[in-house]
Chains A and B, each alone.
Chain A
């Protein structure tokens, strides 16, 4: 089945130790997104790729970076995780991200990051 896959589902890292979360999709969608969701809060967009074009949200900390080596894969790199970065990280895709909200986003199951 076509889907959005995130690995690992659970990730534990130490304070300040770089960590990479991965996302892959079999939907062949042009747009891939990374959201951060903290406990009892709504998902918050960090950045997205429209094809190879990277788009960062204005309030996304520099500590967060992303790579998209090809259509299928996208990575979230946290260079120096702090305790406040503990959250669920959600990857999503959409076909072409058309305006007005017509284009449905498909979310992966998320990676829960714990920072010790």
Chain B
């Protein structure tokens, strides 16, 4: 499981696009990159996962450059309800997930 580094906190405003970048310099060849979202007093929730290039779902996009040493979670047109902690993980399997510190995203009106 590769160590990940991401900003401790970020601020933005409603309606803006938010990009959170995560570095994972030691990612293994077979590792996937996964992002989870956690609201206060709730369990983490899967947002998106990718291996390379770009992945998009109804919630977010994930951009992964060719060297895969970093990834960027993009949240389009955020709202107040997107205020949460976002965790980036690289790899992890049956032995469980090792969460980094996460990024505390605060959306203001």
A112 to B91, CA, bound (A): 28
The verdict on A31 contacting B41 (CB below 8 Å), with A43-B99, A99-B30, A102-B32 known, is no
Count A-side interface residues using an 8 Å CB cutoff: 33
Contacts of B90 in A (CB 8 A): 101
Count B-side interface residues using an 8 Å CB cutoff: 29
State which of B14-22, B42-50, B57-65, B75-83 sits at the interface with chain A. B42-50
In the complex, are the beta carbons of A42 and B102 less than 8 A apart? yes
Is A74 in the interface zone, CB < 8 Å from B?
no
Binding site for A on B (CB under 8 A): 1, 28, 30-34, 41-46, 49, 87, 89-102
> In the assembled complex, how far is the CB of residue A28 from the closest CB belonging to chain B, in whole angstroms?
16
A101 to B34, CA, bound (A): 7
Contacts of B102 in A (CB 8 A): 42
Which positions 77-116 of chain A face chain B at CB distance < 8 Å?
88, 90-92, 94, 96-110, 112
> In the assembled complex, how far is the CB of residue A34 from the closest CB belonging to chain B, in whole angstroms?
9
Is A44 in the interface zone, CB < 8 Å from B?
yes
Q: Which residue of A lies closest to B98 (CB)?
A: A45
Contacts of B98 in A (CB 8 A): 45
Known: A99-B94, A101-B32. 13 other contacts (CB 8 A): A31-B94, A43-B99, A90-B43, A90-B44, A97-B94, A97-B95, A98-B93, A99-B91, A101-B31, A101-B33, A103-B94, A105-B46, A108-B43
